A and B are shown apart, each in its own frame.
Chain A
Amino acid sequence: MTIKKEKNANELKIYVEGRVDTATSKEFEEKAKADLGGVEELILDFSQLNYISSAGLRVLLSLQKIMNKQGSMKIVGANDIVKDIFEVTGFSEILTVE
């Protein structure tokens, strides 16, 4: 997994590449949360994300809860397999997936 971040004023964009799974979810969580102070719009770019397992879903839920309090969060570029995982788990109802 590789993570790149771009911050513009109160917008934070995080590009996640590879897999968010049991082995990598902690790093994803730490890196994502490190820069959330003052962020009102969080964009997760998943166009290079191969897959996500429940460990990664747990992090998305946690980020969504934070962003519900301080602004908004959306996921862009997710492939069909990742979207299918969101659908099956009901996460497509919780998350904003574009």
Chain B
Amino acid sequence: MKEMTIDAAIENIETVTDFINEELENYNCSMKAQIQIDVAIDELFGNIARYAYSPETGQATVRVEVEESPLSVIITFIDHGKPFDPLSAATPDVTLSAEEREIGGLGIFLVKKSMDLVEYVFEDGHNILKIKKNLE
């Protein structure tokens, strides 16, 4: 298990992504799975950076663990900002036209579609969001 604690800021999304990708390099992770994980980091860490502490700032911890048989990666995002369950966001209607489309909830929808597990708990003043992706 490895983790990093960093300012929850948009300019740090890249640092977090590099941190996770470095860990994934040790495993036989397909390009598709890696990009799905990168998109999930952008959506989830991006949400924390934009909303968790706004208008103040704060830190977030990102933890990465790898499980074997089946090989899977688990990434946990922890912040102590405003309680927010992204899984409670309404599922967007993906059948609407451009004019009718609303964009809210699309990021978490993408994460749910591409990950094998997405779990949220609020515990001891912390938002804890866990995603899991099977690599085989």
User: Which B residues lie within 8 Å of A94 (CB)?
Assistant: 97-98, 101
Q: Report the contact-size class of chain A (Cβ under 8 Å from the partner).
A: 20 to 34
Stretch at the interface among B18-26, B37-45, B127-135: B37-45
A9 within 8 A of B: no
* Contact A64-B98, Cβ < 8 Å, known A53-B107, A54-B106, A89-B109: yes
Q: Report B54-91 residues with CB < 8 Å from chain A CB.
A: none
- Please tell me which one of the listed residues B11, B98, B113 contacts residue A61 in the complex, with CB atoms under 8 A apart: B98
In this complex, the member of A23, A58, A61, A93 whose beta carbon has the largest number of chain B beta carbons within 10 angstroms is A23
A interface residue numbers (CB < 8 A to B): 19, 21-23, 50-55, 57-58, 61, 64-65, 68, 80-81, 84-85, 88-90, 93-94
B interface residue numbers (CB < 8 A to A): 10-11, 13-14, 31-32, 35-36, 38-39, 42-43, 46, 49-50, 92, 94-99, 101, 103, 106-107, 109-110, 113-114
